[in-house]
Amino acid sequence: MKYRRIRYLIRLVWRRQNTPTGVLWARYSVFLCILLSSFKVCAQVPPAEMPDSADNIIGLYAASQHITKPLYASIKTNLLYDALAVPNVGAEIYLGKGFSIDTQWMYAWWSRESRHRMWRIYGGELRARYWFGSAAKTKPLSGHHAGLYAGIMTFCFEFGSKGYMGGRPGHSLWDRAWINAGVEYGYSLPVHSRFNIDFTIGIGYLGGILEKFTSEDDRHVWKSTVRQTWIGPTKAEITLVWLLGRGNRNIRHSSSESPKEAVSKSYGL
């Protein structure tokens, strides 16, 4: 039926005797619209041949739609730091093949000199992660992950008459920073189409110079300088993750279909 309709339209368009120019242009327009709608140009792959890898599924979808590969990224905040009045923000980008890079920055600068209260800390961290497990293969930035991290920070805390400063006074962050580095493990749990909750723990090294002081007559009096070193748990995170990027959504699937089928359905493959 489709080809009969096309042949009829061709004969109709080319019957131009005593036909006004406007009518001819209308015929041409209708002919082109029906012709384009009669052919469907898209890549179709049998479900049995669909790859399990999320990277392959995404690449196939991008090729079939003639678009660039989606960017998988996220913006996040550690809720534990927020609860301690330490504003922080992080960002993560998926590189492909299960790997991602992540960076985070925190900054708090609270003080009440009249009551000798000080709560100041700032610093940043860089880490590389590898995502694994069935959830990570179905969709990037989901499921189990393990990685390496390294960061720097400095702080100054005062409670009543006693205070503690990380690093030497008057120097830059690079000169007085505390160093932390280690390995981490976590799991990113989907809670919404665009949000995850990420649970992470880390074990490694934390150390630097610690200055101890007291407050006397509205002045800070130095007491001692020691070098602190700690090897053990150095990180605990409960992070709210906002997923960004084209197609970067958590996919719900019924018990009767596999995650691969759910991904294929959501991408229209």
Task: Give the residue extent of every domain in the chain.
Answer: 2-51+57-66, 71-245
**CB-based contacts of 185: which residues, under 8 Å, 6+ apart?**
144, 145, 146, 200, 201, 202
Which one-letter DSSP state was computed for residue 139? S
**pLDDT score of 42:** 38
The 10s digit of each residue's pLDDT in 144-163 is 999 999 999 999 898 877 88
Which residue has better confidence, 221 or 179?
179
Which residue has better confidence, 67 or 105?
105
CA pair distance 88, 242, nearest whole angstrom? 14
Q: Is the pLDDT of residue 244 over 90?
A: yes
CA pair distance 188, 94, nearest whole angstrom? 14
CA pair distance 53, 90, nearest whole angstrom? 27
Q: Is the pLDDT of residue 19 over 80?
A: no
Residue 43 pLDDT level (bands cut at 50, 70, 90): very low
Q: Are strands 195-216 and 117-132 parallel, antiparallel or unpaired?
A: unpaired
Structure tokens at 138: 């179905």
CA pair distance 152, 169, nearest whole angstrom? 16
**pLDDT score of 267:** 45
In the chain, DSSP assigns E strands to 73-78, 88-96, 99-112, 117-132, 143-159, 162-166, 178-190, 195-216, 219-244
Residues in a beta bridge with 74: 92, 243
Which residue has better confidence, 43 or 238?
238
How many CB atoms neighbour CB 89 within 10 A?
Answer: 14
Least confident of 86-95, 159-168, 233-242: 159-168
> Which residue has 């669909």 as its token pair?
50
The 10s digit of each residue's pLDDT in 48-97 is 444 555 555 555 555 555 556 778 999 999 999 999 999 999 999 999 99
Q: Which CATH number fits domain 71-245: 3.30.70.60, 3.50.50.60, 1.10.3720.10, 2.40.160.20?
A: 2.40.160.20
CA pair distance 46, 19, nearest whole angstrom? 48
**pLDDT score of 47:** 47
pLDDT, average across residues 113-140: 89
Task: Provide the mean pLDDT of the chain.
Answer: 78
What is residue 173's three-state secondary structure?
helix
**pLDDT score of 251:** 78
What is residue 39's three-state secondary structure?
coil
Which residue has better confidence, 257 or 236?
236
Contact 184, 146 (CB under 8 A): yes
**pLDDT score of 268:** 45
Greatest mean pLDDT among 42-56, 116-130, 164-178, 246-260:
116-130
User: Residue 25 to residues 4, 12, 16, 33, 81: CA-CA distances in angstroms?
Assistant: 22, 12, 11, 12, 67
The structure's pTM equals 0.67
